[in-house]
Amino acid sequence: MDSLKKHGFEVHYKPGLSREELLSIVENYNILVFRGRLKIDRGVIDRGANLKVLARYGIGLDNVDVEHAVKRGIAVVNAPSASAISVAELTIALMLTVYRRLYDFIHSVKCGEWSKGKHLGRELHGKKLGVIGFGRIGSRVAYYAKAFGMDIMVYDIRDVSEEVSKLGGVQVDLERLLSGADVVTLHVPLTPLTWHMINDKTLSMMRDGTVLVNTSRGEVIDTDALLKHVDRLGGVALDVLEQEPPKDEKIWRLVKHPNVVVTPHIGAETVEAMDRIADELVKNILEAVNWL
């Protein structure tokens, strides 16, 4: 906000704005900066008669009707690279949490139990990591995982074999990745192609004991299918859910399952990432305004 003010913008800060409140005031604004909670759909866009720029404070644009905005001549910008480090670090942390049973140990000690010897953890070293989506975050996760001594397999709809080979990894098809990986981690945007890409069919390709990690979008995984397979998996770590915050009974069943660790969509929730997002977004807003 300070950066925008320095560039001459009049900034109104309205945290916790409801959809109804947004609809009642959006016509007064040229630029709308928002995060992932609000759906910037056709209704919002059409009501915003004076909108020139939609600015997503973060990476994903799945809560924005980008096509309709562009048809209306509205620029859509985000900060696609700013939170990659934070999300990648969380992904590795979730892998370690599952493999070393950290949640169980920490919880038991806080409850007064000295649980040394109760569980045996496992090492990441020597395990096969399957990275689905080799963009900014997925490639960084692979880089970090290589430092842990993991073997890297990658699936992506693009040819990224050259980049993957630099890490000593290999690009494979989805079935080979799912059937061969000890850990599968998801780093894809939410699109019609990726919606429920982890479903009963693809989960059936995973061996018993495979660990599944998702720090991308909750809707990439079919919750019903995951509940069917969760007991035979080696662990599930989720920073995202199909419904956030969880309300449906089936979502709560997944959250409370002893084989599942859940964090509340905190992939980009670091001081450093917030600063980088702000800087990148201001730059992109200024470019969009100048272009218009």
What's the angle, vertex CA 102, arms to CA 96 and CA 205, rounded to 5?
Answer: 50
Please answer whether residues 261 and 103 qualify as being in contact, where contact means their C-beta atoms are separated by less than 8 angstroms.
Answer: yes
Which tokens go with 133? 């989506």
Residues 6+ apart with CB under 8 A from 77: 53, 54, 55, 56, 281, 284, 285, 287, 288
Residues with a known catalytic role: 217, 244, 265
What's the angle, vertex CA 185, arms to CA 120 and CA 167, rounded to 5?
Answer: 100
- Strand order, beta sheet including 75-77: 31-34, 53-56, 75-77
What's the angle, vertex CA 69, arms to CA 192 and CA 46, rounded to 5?
Answer: 115
What's the angle, vertex CA 218, arms to CA 217 and CA 223, rounded to 5?
Answer: 155
Residue 106, amino acid? I
Helix (H) or strand (E) holding 252: helix 249-256
First to last CA, the chain: 21
Which tokens go with 261? 């660790």
Q: How far apart are CA 3 and CA 14, in angstroms?
A: 17
23 phi and psi angles, rounded to 5 deg: -60, -30
